[in-house]
Amino acid sequence: MSETDETEIQEDAAWPRDMMARVGRLGRATMEVVVELGRARVPLEDVLNAEVGTIFETDKLCGLPMENFVNEVLFARGETVVVGDQLAVRVTDLVKNENR
């Protein structure tokens, strides 16, 4: 190792050592959440010929839970609900992920 590799890295005094304090500090950060209705493989010709009113069928059956991704990682499953005039998802199952 070179001398620079062996030098101690100075800790940032402003960064909390306690995990909950770190979470509290990052808790206001935004993350992309995607709710997936379903997937479909569609020939390019069908995509190019799409117009208003075109329907693309997905692999998801009616009544099955929607998958919720946070930063492209499956986080939860849920059911669609209406809140006012908005479509929303009620979380029904949190997905256990060993890598989180």
Nearest to 54 by CA among 43, 68, 65, 66: 43
Q: What is the pLDDT, as a whole number, of residue 20? A: 76
Q: Which two tokens stand for residue 95?
A: 């997905």
pLDDT tens string for the chain (100 positions)?
Answer: 555 554 455 566 666 677 777 777 777 788 899 999 899 999 999 999 999 999 999 998 888 899 999 988 999 999 989 999 999 999 999 998 765 4
CATH class of 32-100: mainly beta
Q: What is the pLDDT, as a whole number, of residue 85? A: 94
Write the single-letter amino acid at 45: E
Backbone angles phi, psi at 39, to 5 degrees: -130, 155
